[in-house]
Amino acid sequence: MNKNYIIPNEWSIVEEGFDKKNVEASESLFSIGNGSMGQRANFEEDYSGDTFQGSYIGGIYYPDKTRVGWWKNGYPEYFAKVLNAPNWIGIHIQINNTKLDLNTCEVSDFKRELNMKEGWLSRSFKAKLQTGEEIQVSTKRFISVKYNEVGAIKYNIKALNFSGDIIFSPYIDAGIENEDSNYNEYFWKTLKILEGTNEGSILAKTLKTEFNVGTAMKVDFAVNNNIIETTQQNIIAEKSLTYTYKINVQEGDTATIYKYGSYVSSLNYENEELIEASLKNVQEAKELGFEYLLEAQIKSWEEIWKTADIIIEGDVKAQQGIRFNIFQLNQTYMGTDARLNIGPKGFTGEKYGGSTYWDTEAYCIPFYMATKDASVAKNLLIYRYNQLDKAIENAEKLGFKNGAALYPMVTMNGEECHNEWEITFEEIHRNGAMVYGIYNYVNYTQDFEYVSQYGLEVMIAIARFWHQRANFSKIKNKFVILGVTGPNEYENNVNNNFYTNYLAKWCIEYAVDCLNKVKHNYPEDFKRIVAKTNLSGEETYKWLKVAEHMYFPYSEENNVYLQQDGFLDKEIIPVDELPKSERPINQKWSWDRILRSCYIKQADVLQGMFFFEDKFSSEELERHFDFYEPLTVHESSLSPCVHSILAASIDRMPKAYEQYLRTARLDLDDYNCEVHEGCHITSMAGTWMSIVQGFGGMRVWENGKLTFNPQIPKEWKSYSFTINFRGNIIKVYKSQTECKFYNESGNEIKMMVHDTEISIPSKQLVTV
């Protein structure tokens, strides 16, 4: 496909001109969603060219049988697939009996816009059919944030050079498949199809998981903006429902179909209510009307942008890139439902299947915490709290005892469900990210009550895991953690991964700290938790032994912690010296060669130093950055942001900016030639962090203090961002010459800026 075809624009993603090679990439980039459901930007009308159809409902998944060479104990039974859900957007269109299909007709003046400010997708084009009819089409579509089970489409066709029939055949279809099914199985079963006048609904259930979903549509027609009545003809197939309407138009007339769609699922309703609920949704939507719903949509997004927007002056592409990232993150997860989470591809594709990775704790929580109300980040933590029992079960399956928990690498319902076991099953560092997420949340919000109510149980179970997972090495006279994979997935089954060992030690120590705090400040909770978990002082003493005597591989010669035992046995050649023809190594090298090479897929030691920056001196950070950065190939979308933030923190803005560029427009410019599969949603939070934590230098430390250290890339005129800090809105502005803070809240706010404490009164602007 083409690259860089997206037109720069501050608030919109824009494509001009029709190029079939871009269809699948645009379907990803122009995706729309509302946190509860979402879809790729597939055309409403038929398209016979290459297309990747996708519509998704949060929390609805299918357990696809794992594909593996030889089964080994502890492997997950299934790979939870994000399910391609029934289609509600489809409208077959015929002009005088010729089907409209952009793959076969002459297309001109094609334009597609994803308006991120207002949250809608539009498309316009002229088409000349093989039979000579010319039409002007304009469509607008959105998935409502306010009415979050509803989507709406307005589809206009103007007859440019003919009088005759325009036939609209809107349909809903449950006979859909996943492209990435392991064994080409169907995932849905159609249970019931209900017809009606201009409305209808299909009840379908997912096989195995038995989620029931009602998918409804309701349609309405206008000619030249006057609502008209039309005759409906019904076509019911085994799995779909289609209504056909013939509208006679005169040359110059515009015929319009309004189509309202709704998904409702057994996550929120009884099965027998679903048909009715879905119909009620589309009936109400029709009552409110397209324009009213659109107004509500614009307001919803206005609200979201108030605290989420980042403004960059002097670089339109950077502005577009960062807004795209913020927009897609919000489309994926709104934070109102603790049963949902943030899938790596959001609602833009199927790849990476299962919904929740450690990306949520390591990358996404900071974004949601700073751009939304504290309840949103809390919901993400509660999601894991609710899955604690499953995490304990998961650890039991692997031989752990006594309430130890191992959170899954990938999950939908708390069970482990990854497809790629070789790489991921030893990535136990993920367990540490669960605790880090709590730590981060408590520092930021000062809501320690979360720990006493929920978090401590998670921490205890995870401390137990680390205690059991480490073993004592007589020869090292230390505790070691063998057979792990760190964040750097270009290593496998290594011993004493620094990041993992560090997290393990820290998790134990932080758990014991919190235990003591809860004991003193929340004695009732303490009693409850001790009873529930059967915890004894003797046990925590044993944990601490492990933490205290944890082993960390270290090179005296290089004065750095080593990524793992034996790292220095590798041939160390900086990435710069690799011929360009050999990169990306994951495409050019065999897997075994990658494994024994020194190249680092994504921040690993540096991920640890990023998490716990305050535990290391600047010199240590620099030394490790200088050792590991030249060996890092950044072949994970989660890597450059961490390097960017660290580079900024050690005053290396050119490096920070270089790394920022690798992450900011990853999808828009399709660096890795894979955007057609969907967008990299979770790494978008990393981009946000690169500006706020990287350039802005924002930190909230363990003592609860907020600090900033704003710097600006020389390529920009200015940037500004907004954060919600404990309910107080703070706006930060940084230009090449100025640094300003505006306190929008009713309270005075204290913070450190460039090592100086400042205090900003309510509604005041301070220039630093």
Q: What is the token pair recorded at 271?
A: 């099965």
Helix axes 639-649, 618-628, angle to 10 degrees: 140
Kind and range of the H or E element at 569? none
Q: Which is nearer to its own copies, 186 or 591 (CB)?
A: 591
Q: Which is nearer to its own copies, 195 or 582 (CB)?
A: 582
- Token pair 């900071």: residue: 366
Compute CA 241 distance to the chain's CA centroid, rounded to the nearest angstrom.
33
Report in angstroms how near the CB of residue 353 gets to its own copies at its nearest.
11
DSSP structure string for 590-612:
-HHHHHHS--BSS-SHHHHHHHT
Give the whole-angstrom CA distance, residue 277 versus residue 463: 45
Binding residues for its own copies, rule: CB under 8 A, are 66-70, 72-75, 79, 183, 397-399, 418-423, 425-426, 471-476, 480, 482-483, 492-496, 555, 557, 565-566, 568-572, 586-593, 595-596
Report in angstroms how near the CB of residue 594 gets to its own copies at its nearest.
8
DSSP-derived letter for residue 568 is G
Q: Which of 129, 263, 268 shows the shortest CA–CA distance to 203?
A: 263
Q: Which is nearer to its own copies, 300 or 492 (CB)?
A: 492
Contacts of 453 by beta carbon, 8 Å cutoff, 6+ apart: 525
CB of 433 within 8 A of CB of 358?
A: yes
Report in angstroms how near the CB of residue 615 gets to its own copies at its nearest.
25
**Residue 619, Cβ neighbours under 10 Å: how many?**
10
Q: Which of 45, 489, 613, 635 is catalytic?
A: 489
Q: Which is nearer to its own copies, 67 or 717 (CB)?
A: 67
Q: Is the peptide bond preceding residue 584 cis, with omega within 30 degrees of 0?
A: yes
Give the whole-angstrom CA distance, residue 758 versus residue 707: 10
Report in angstroms how near the CB of residue 160 gets to its own copies at its nearest.
48
Report in angstroms how near the CB of residue 498 gets to its own copies at its nearest.
15
Compute, in degrees rounded to 10, the torsion defined by CA atoms 716, 699, 364, 113.
-20
Report in angstroms how near the CB of residue 359 gets to its own copies at its nearest.
17
User: For 69, how many CA atoms within 13 A lie in the half-sphere containing its CB?
Assistant: 2
Q: Which is nearer to its own copies, 99 or 570 (CB)?
A: 570
Q: Which of 389, 352, 340, 387 shows the shortest CA–CA distance to 60?
A: 340
Kind and range of the H or E element at 748? none
- Please return the burial class of 728, using the count of CB atoms within 10 Å of its CB with bins 0-12, 13-18 and 19+: middle
Across-strand partners of 219? 259
Q: Which of 186, 191, 246, 196 shows the shortest CA–CA distance to 214?
A: 191
Report in angstroms how near the CB of residue 476 gets to its own copies at its nearest.
6
Q: Which is nearer to its own copies, 3 or 593 (CB)?
A: 593
Taking the CA atoms of the chain, what radius of gyration do you get in angstroms?
A: 27
Residue 489 is among the residues annotated as catalytic for this protein: yes
Q: What is the token pair recorded at 563?
A: 């990524």
Q: Which is nearer to its own copies, 122 or 402 (CB)?
A: 402
Q: Which is nearer to its own copies, 198 or 468 (CB)?
A: 468
Report in angstroms how near the CB of residue 720 gets to its own copies at its nearest.
41
Q: Which is nearer to its own copies, 369 or 395 (CB)?
A: 395
DSSP structure string for 513-561:
HHHHHHHHH-HHHHHHHHHHHT--HHHHHHHHHHHHTB---EETTTTEE
Q: Which is nearer to its own copies, 564 or 687 (CB)?
A: 564
DSSP-derived letter for residue 416 is B
SS3 per-residue string spanning 670-717: CCCCCHHHCCCHHHHHHHHHHHHHHHCCCEECCCCCEEECCCCCCCCC
Give the whole-angstrom CA distance, residue 45 versus residue 116: 23
Give the whole-angstrom CA distance, residue 300 versus residue 13: 19
Give the whole-angstrom CA distance, residue 762 versus residue 760: 7
DSSP-derived letter for residue 269 is S
Report in angstroms how near the CB of residue 593 gets to its own copies at its nearest.
5
Going 341 to 342 to 348 to 349, the CA torsion angle's sign is: negative
Report in angstroms how near the CB of residue 473 gets to its own copies at its nearest.
4
Contacts of 661 by beta carbon, 8 Å cutoff, 6+ apart: none
Report in angstroms how near the CB of residue 674 gets to its own copies at its nearest.
13
Give the whole-angstrom CA distance, residue 33 versus residue 35: 6
Report in angstroms how near the CB of residue 555 gets to its own copies at its nearest.
8
Active site residues: 489
